[in-house]
């Protein structure tokens, strides 16, 4: 290292004289330490900035500022320390070499800052870089020393020289490690760590310098007399350099601070923006939830009303026609009751898609109002367009839908009102579409009806009927029971009667149950109504016994709604007891879907009723969706095949196969089979061949009041061996009013050949 002017000696040369009284100005040493600390602080600060800066440009800038601060700081520290160095000889510095030492400092500092900008440097990486930086700092120091020109020669003690390099490496490692960690944290703890690290680093840098200085021995050639110089100029220069360096470092630190504040502000602003946009999204999804139906993704009633109001005001000013269409899925409740609500939901989704697929893209509005009720709003030129759309929807609806492993075909009832002819306000048009829908349902469902002003009267008629039914129940006035014989094929006798309610209305005449059962069900009157039928049927059973018919059973119908009432079993028991009738003579008829509604609770109730001795019959079998697994669990005695399967026999061979299968299945489950709605001899013969147990239908008799029953029964039972009669005569015959005295003494009138003998 001769070229650097570094001469290492184990022992000093014999010739020459060692300058022993080299001292350091304590004030300048302190100032140098201060500068070293300030440089360390600035570097740590810049490293933090580099870590936090977001765009690469500003990262690069802070890296350079950091490198300059560190290099400038170390270099100034070195320079001030050299000024603090007091020797009795005159010392000059070579400018070129001094500047070169600054370049070395700058390179080492840049390397330090570069390592610190790595995302997550490893410990080994820190260590390798620390060695290079340490060597760089030491290099700067010793190159700086080589710039020293004086009469004396510089000799270095190797141990202290090595130690100074080690200190440089150690300090660099500490600086890198602390700075790397500072980047992660924040807050007071971080700040304290930074201050402590600053002091340690400053101490490291300065120790390196003074260890290097301790290794130095200046030897004057013999005969050269050292002279004492005044040091005031060194002190002034040192202080000036320190002042300038500190000023520069201070500015850099302030700039970093300002940048940090600015960045924090920017981050705050971004956070606020993000929060605002999140808030906006939340508001939008709230609005979506408020105006949309979650199941089908169609708009809901609320959303529809808004759009409707907008469209209506637009049409009112610009002119044009609008149609409001109400849709109701026919017998949807059956799906929910028998297959469960999940299947019901699935079905609604498919139906919503069908409806959406039938309308014209975005122009028409499709909404779900809840349950199985949908509403469509369309702009149109004439009413035929509305009819066409309704028919398109009805056609689409008839496409089979796969659900819970079954294929089903749904139908829909539609009611339409038109703007402006049927109303000018939203409320009016909706109400009128609803009335039209009501009429569609009343007309047997699966149809379209336009609103007409007469419908208004119908709605008020319903209201009036409800009031009158309430009154009829309260006063026990007008309601009556008709009985329809159920013929047992095995014995060739009528062994059961089905009690069917009628209402003799003062104005509308004799009303059948389909006119008022729904009104009773919808207005909380059904329990009372069924109870009345129960009590009356029990009384009539007593009456029949008194007239010698004590082996006749009566089947009475119970609404599904009634099966949800726990007190039903007690009511049945009370009715039987007060009429003094054996429970075995009563049979309860419940529809398939009523059973499937709430199977667990229904099972408990049915078992209680069975325990009384009352038998159970499943009505309208085949129209619902009950599964065999459930049927097996129910305490049933009888299964009634629905009339719809008999209707087209003998034409419909598929229906014949179904009926035969039902009979076989019922027998396997030890159930007796009643087939209702038997109107023709062919049907009768087919059922007899198929092993059906009971027959009910107009072929035998229509339902008749109790006082007309006796001749009808006798007719059926007596005709066992007579010739078959044309069923047409029968149908006519049963209608002829026959007064009947149930007294056994009175001769039975022949009721105008009112019944036909079933062919056996
Ligand atoms: P349901 O229980 O299926 O009763 C059989 C219906 O079919 C009766 O109608 C009966 O008159 C009719 N019917 C019987 N044989 C024939 C036939 O050969 N051809 C045709 N076309 N029809 C036949 P109804 O009396 O009008 O009763 C209708 C429904 O009203 C009943 O159907 C039942 O569900 C309900 N219902 C009747 N009485 C009561 C009651 O007291 N309480 C309750 N909750 N519902 C009742
Ligand atoms: Ca029935
Ligand atoms: Ca039935």
Segment 216-228 mean pLDDT: 73
Tokens standing for residue 759: 């062919």
* Vertex 735 angle, CA 729 and 741, to 5°: 115
> Is the distance from the beta carbon of residue 533 to the nearest atom of ligand 1 less than 6 Å?
yes
Q: What spacing in Å lies between the alpha carbon of 642 and ligand 2's midpoint? A: 9
> Is the distance from the beta carbon of residue 676 to the nearest atom of ligand 1 less than 6 Å?
yes
Percent of the chain with pLDDT strictly greater than 70: 88
pLDDT digits (tens, 9 = 90+) for 594-645: 776 667 788 899 999 999 999 999 998 877 666 666 777 888 999 999 888 8
* Vertex 425 angle, CA 419 and 427, to 5°: 110
- Nearest ligand to the CA atom of 484: 1
Tokens standing for residue 458: 């119908």
Q: What spacing in Å lies between the alpha carbon of 535 and ligand 3's midpoint? A: 21
> Is the distance from the beta carbon of residue 202 to the nearest atom of ligand 1 less than 6 Å?
no
CA distances from 250 to 23, 197, 629 (A): 30, 18, 88
Tokens standing for residue 321: 């026609």
> Is the distance from the beta carbon of residue 293 to the nearest atom of ligand 1 less than 6 Å?
no
Q: How does DSSP classify residue 302?
A: H
Tokens standing for residue 621: 């079998």
> How many whole angstroms separate alpha carbon 576 and alpha carbon 565?
18
> Is the distance from the beta carbon of residue 592 to the nearest atom of ligand 1 less than 6 Å?
no
> Is the distance from the beta carbon of residue 559 to the nearest atom of ligand 1 less than 6 Å?
yes
Q: What spacing in Å lies between the alpha carbon of 668 and ligand 1's midpoint? A: 27
Q: Which pLDDT band holds residue 726 (cuts at 50, 70, 90)?
A: very low
Q: What spacing in Å lies between the alpha carbon of 619 and ligand 2's midpoint? A: 6
Cα torsion 723, 729, 735, 740: sign = negative
Give the CB-side neighbour count of residue 151, counting CA atoms within 13 A.
16
Cβ burial of 562 (10 Å; 0-12, 13-18, 19+) is buried
Contact predicate 623/642, CB 8 Å: yes
> Is the distance from the beta carbon of residue 644 to the nearest atom of ligand 1 less than 6 Å?
no
> Which CATH number does 476-739 carry?
3.20.20.450
- What 3-state DSSP class applies to 317? helix
Instruction: Using most ligand atoms within 8 A of CB, pick from 484, 513, 525 the residue to mutate for ligand 1.
Output: 513
Segment 513-521 mean pLDDT: 91
Which atom of ligand 1 is found nearest the CA of 481? 41
- Nearest ligand to the CA atom of 677: 1
Q: Is 90 exceeded by the pLDDT of residue 416?
A: yes
Instruction: Using most ligand atoms within 8 A of CB, pick from 500, 511, 572 the residue to mutate for ligand 1.
Output: 500
Q: Is the pTM of this model over 0.75?
A: no
> How many whole angstroms separate alpha carbon 438 and alpha carbon 455?
9
> Would you state the pLDDT for residue 498?
97
Domain ranges in the chain are 2-223+233-262, 301-451, 476-739
- Listed in sequence order, the residues at least 6 apart from 730 whose beta carbon sits closer than 8 Å to its beta carbon are 698, 699, 700, 701, 753, 754, 755, 756
Work out the widest C-alpha separation in the chain, in whole angstroms. 172
Hey, how many other C-beta atoms are within 10 angstroms of the C-beta on 600? Answer: 6
pLDDT digits (tens, 9 = 90+) for 256-306: 888 888 888 888 888 888 888 887 887 777 777 778 888 999 999 988 998
Which atom of ligand 1 is found nearest the CA of 703? 11
Contact predicate 624/591, CB 8 Å: yes
Q: Could you tell me if residue 223 is left (phi over 0), alpha (psi between -120 and 50 degrees) or otherwise beta?
A: left
Report the mean per-residue pLDDT for the chain.
83
pLDDT digits (tens, 9 = 90+) for 666-718: 998 899 999 999 999 999 999 999 999 999 999 999 999 999 998 999 888 87
Q: Which pLDDT band holds residue 13 (cuts at 50, 70, 90)?
A: low
Hey, how many other C-beta atoms are within 10 angstroms of the C-beta on 433? Answer: 28
Which atom of ligand 1 is found nearest the CA of 556? 41
Q: What spacing in Å lies between the alpha carbon of 727 and ligand 2's midpoint? A: 23
> How many whole angstroms separate alpha carbon 649 and alpha carbon 153?
132
> How many whole angstroms separate alpha carbon 296 and alpha carbon 349?
5
Hey, how many other C-beta atoms are within 10 angstroms of the C-beta on 577? Answer: 11
Q: What spacing in Å lies between the alpha carbon of 521 and ligand 3's midpoint? A: 18
Which atom of ligand 1 is found nearest the CA of 698? 18
**Tally of helices (H runs) and strands (E runs) in the chain:** 23, 25
Tell me which residue of 135, 179, 167 sits closest to 44, measured CA to CA. Answer: 179
Tokens standing for residue 738: 């026959």
Contact predicate 717/493, CB 8 Å: yes
> Would you state the pLDDT for residue 705?
96
Which atom of ligand 1 is found nearest the CA of 696? 15
Residue with the nearest Cα to atom 22 of ligand 1? 677
pLDDT digits (tens, 9 = 90+) for 372-382: 999 999 999 99
pLDDT digits (tens, 9 = 90+) for 571-596: 999 999 999 999 999 999 998 777 76
Q: What spacing in Å lies between the alpha carbon of 478 and ligand 1's midpoint? A: 18
Provide DSSP, 491-555. TTEEEEEEEEEEEEETTTEEEPHHHHHHHHHHTT-HHHHHHHHHHHHHHHHHHHHHTT-TT-EEE
Q: Cite the beta strand spans of 36-77 per DSSP E.
A: none
Chain position carrying tokens 């049945």: 572
Q: What spacing in Å lies between the alpha carbon of 147 and ligand 2's midpoint? A: 120
Contact predicate 393/327, CB 8 Å: yes
Query: For domain 301-451, which CATH number applies: 3.30.70.270, 3.40.605.10, 3.40.50.970, 3.40.50.720?
Result: 3.30.70.270
> Would you state the pLDDT for residue 673?
96
Q: What spacing in Å lies between the alpha carbon of 556 and ligand 1's midpoint? A: 10
Q: Is 90 exceeded by the pLDDT of residue 538?
A: yes
> Is the distance from the beta carbon of residue 303 to the nearest atom of ligand 1 less than 6 Å?
no
Q: What spacing in Å lies between the alpha carbon of 500 and ligand 1's midpoint? A: 6
Instruction: Using most ligand atoms within 8 A of CB, pick from 557, 565, 680, 716 the residue to mutate for ligand 1.
Output: 557
Tokens standing for residue 737: 């009013």
- Nearest ligand to the CA atom of 513: 1
pLDDT digits (tens, 9 = 90+) for 452-509: 877 677 677 788 889 999 999 998 889 999 999 999 999 999 999 999 999 999 888 8
Best-predicted range by mean pLDDT (144-153, 412-421, 457-466): 412-421
CA torsion, ordered 349, 445, 560, 545, to nearest 10 deg: -160
Residue with the nearest Cα to atom 13 of ligand 1? 677
> How many whole angstroms separate alpha carbon 471 and alpha carbon 458?
20
Residue with the nearest Cα to atom 3 of ligand 1? 620
> Is the distance from the beta carbon of residue 679 to the nearest atom of ligand 1 less than 6 Å?
yes
Residue with the nearest Cα to atom 37 of ligand 1? 500
Segment 54-69 mean pLDDT: 85
Tell me which residue of 608, 609, 664 sits closest to 639, measured CA to CA. Answer: 664
Q: Where are the alpha helices (DSSP H) in 183-298?
A: 188-214, 232-291
Q: What spacing in Å lies between the alpha carbon of 565 and ligand 1's midpoint? A: 23
> Is the distance from the beta carbon of residue 698 to the nearest atom of ligand 1 less than 6 Å?
yes
> How many whole angstroms separate alpha carbon 315 and alpha carbon 307?
12
Residues surrounding ion ligand 2 at CB below 5 Å: 557, 589, 619
Chain position carrying tokens 């021995």: 217
With both helix axes pointing from N to C terminus, report the angle between 188-214 and 158-182 in degrees, rounded to the nearest 10. 170
pLDDT digits (tens, 9 = 90+) for 624-636: 666 666 777 888 9
Cα torsion 659, 662, 666, 671: sign = negative
Q: What spacing in Å lies between the alpha carbon of 731 and ligand 1's midpoint? A: 16
Q: What spacing in Å lies between the alpha carbon of 627 and ligand 3's midpoint? A: 18
> Would you state the pLDDT for residue 122?
82
pLDDT digits (tens, 9 = 90+) for 424-441: 999 999 989 998 998 888
Q: What spacing in Å lies between the alpha carbon of 462 and ligand 3's midpoint? A: 25
Q: What spacing in Å lies between the alpha carbon of 334 and ligand 2's midpoint? A: 17
> Is the distance from the beta carbon of residue 98 to the nearest atom of ligand 1 less than 6 Å?
no
Contact predicate 694/489, CB 8 Å: yes
> Is the distance from the beta carbon of residue 532 to the nearest atom of ligand 1 less than 6 Å?
no
Tokens standing for residue 248: 């520069």
């Amino acid at each position: 290292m001769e070229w650097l002017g570094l001469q290492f000696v184990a022992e000093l040369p014999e010739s020459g004289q060692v300058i022993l009284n080299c001292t350091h100005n304590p004030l300048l040493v302190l100032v140098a330490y201060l500068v070293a600390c300030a440089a360390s602080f600035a570097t740590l600060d810049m490293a933090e900035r580099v870590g936090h800066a977001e765009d690469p440009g500003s990262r690069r800038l802070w890296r350079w500022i950091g490198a300059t601060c560190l290099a400038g700081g170390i270099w100034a520290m070195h320079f001030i320390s050299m000024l603090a160095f007091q020797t009795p000889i005159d010392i000059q510095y070579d400018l070129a070499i001094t500047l070169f030492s600054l370049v070395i400092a700058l390179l080492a500092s840049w390397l330090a800052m570069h390592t610190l900008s790595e995302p997550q440097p490893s410990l080994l990486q820190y260590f390798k870089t620390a060695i290079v930086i340490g060597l760089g700092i030491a290099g700067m120091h010793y190159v700086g020393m080589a710039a020293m020109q004086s009469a004396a020669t510089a000799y270095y003690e190797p141990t202290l020289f090595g130690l100074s390099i080690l200190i440089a490496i150690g300090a660099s490692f500490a600086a890198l490690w602390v700075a790397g960690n500072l980047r992660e944290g924040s807050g007071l703890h971080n700040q304290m760590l930074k201050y402590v690290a600053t002091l340690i680093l400053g101490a490291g840098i300065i120790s390196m310098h003074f260890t290097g200085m301790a290794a130095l021995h200046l030897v004057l050639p013999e005969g050269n007399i050292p002279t004492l110089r005044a040091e005031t100029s060194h002190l002034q220069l040192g202080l000036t350099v320190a002042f300038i360096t500190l000023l520069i470092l201070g500015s850099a630190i302030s700039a970093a601070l300002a940048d940090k504040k600015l960045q924090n502000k920017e981050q705050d602003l971004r956070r606020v923006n993000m929060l605002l946009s999140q808030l906006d999204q939340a508001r939008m999804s709230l609005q979506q939830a408020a105006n949309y139906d979650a199941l089908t993704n169609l708009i809901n009633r609320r959303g529809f009303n808004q759009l409707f109001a907008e469209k209506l005001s637009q049409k009112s000013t610009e002119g044009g026609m609008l149609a409001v269409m109400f849709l109701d899925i026919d017998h949807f409740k059956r799906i929910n009751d028998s297959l469960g609500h999940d299947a019901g939901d699935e079905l609604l989704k498919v139906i919503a898609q069908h409806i959406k697929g039938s309308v014209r893209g975005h122009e028409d509005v499709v909404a779900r109002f809840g349950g199985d009720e949908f509403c469509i709003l369309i702009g149109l030129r004439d009413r035929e367009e509305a009819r066409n759309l309704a028919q398109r929807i009805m056609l689409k609806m008839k496409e089979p839908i796969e659900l819970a492993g079954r294929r089903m075909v749904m139908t829909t009832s539609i009611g339409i009102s038109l703007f402006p002819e049927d109303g000018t306000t939203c409320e009016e048009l909706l109400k009128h579409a609803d009335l039209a829908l009501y009429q569609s349902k009343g007309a047997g469902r699966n149809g379209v009806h336009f609103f007409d002003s007469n419908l208004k009267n119908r709605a008020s008629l319903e209201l009036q009927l409800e009031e009158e039914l309430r009154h009829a129940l309260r006063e026990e006035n007008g309601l009556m029971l008709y009985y329809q014989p159920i013929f047992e094929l095995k014995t060739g006798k009528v062994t059961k009667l089905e009690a069917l309610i009628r209402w003799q209305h003062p104005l509308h005449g004799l009303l059948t149950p389909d006119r008022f059962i729904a009104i009773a069900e919808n207005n909380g009157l059904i329990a009372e109504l069924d109870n009345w039928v129960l009590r009356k049927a029990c009384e009539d059973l007593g009456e029949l016994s008194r007239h010698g018919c004590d082996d006749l059973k009566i089947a009475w119908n119970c609404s599904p709604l009634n099966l949800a009432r726990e007190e039903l079993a007690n009511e049945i028991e009370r009715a039987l007891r007060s009429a003094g009738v054996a429970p075995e003579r009563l049979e309860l008829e419940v529809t398939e879907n009523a059973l499937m509604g709430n199977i667990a609770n229904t099972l408990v109730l049915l078992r209680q009723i069975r325990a009384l001795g009352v038998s159970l019959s499943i009505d309208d079998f085949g129209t619902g969706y009950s599964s065999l697994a459930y049927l097996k669990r129910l305490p049933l005695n009888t299964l009634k095949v629905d009339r719809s399967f008999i209707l087209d026999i003998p034409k419909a061979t598929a229906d014949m196969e179904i009926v035969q299968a039902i009979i076989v299945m019922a027998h396997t489950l030890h159930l007796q089979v009643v087939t209702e709605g038997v109107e023709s001899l062919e049907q009768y013969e087919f059922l007899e061949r198929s092993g059906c147990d009971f027959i009910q239908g107009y072929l035998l008799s229509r339902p008749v009041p109790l006082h007309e029953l006796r001749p009808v029964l006798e007719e059926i039972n007596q005709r066992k061996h007579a010739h078959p009669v044309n069923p047409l005569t029968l149908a006519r015959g049963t209608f002829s009013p026959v007064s009947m005295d149930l007294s056994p003494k009175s001769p039975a009138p022949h009721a105008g050949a009112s019944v036909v003998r079933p062919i056996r």
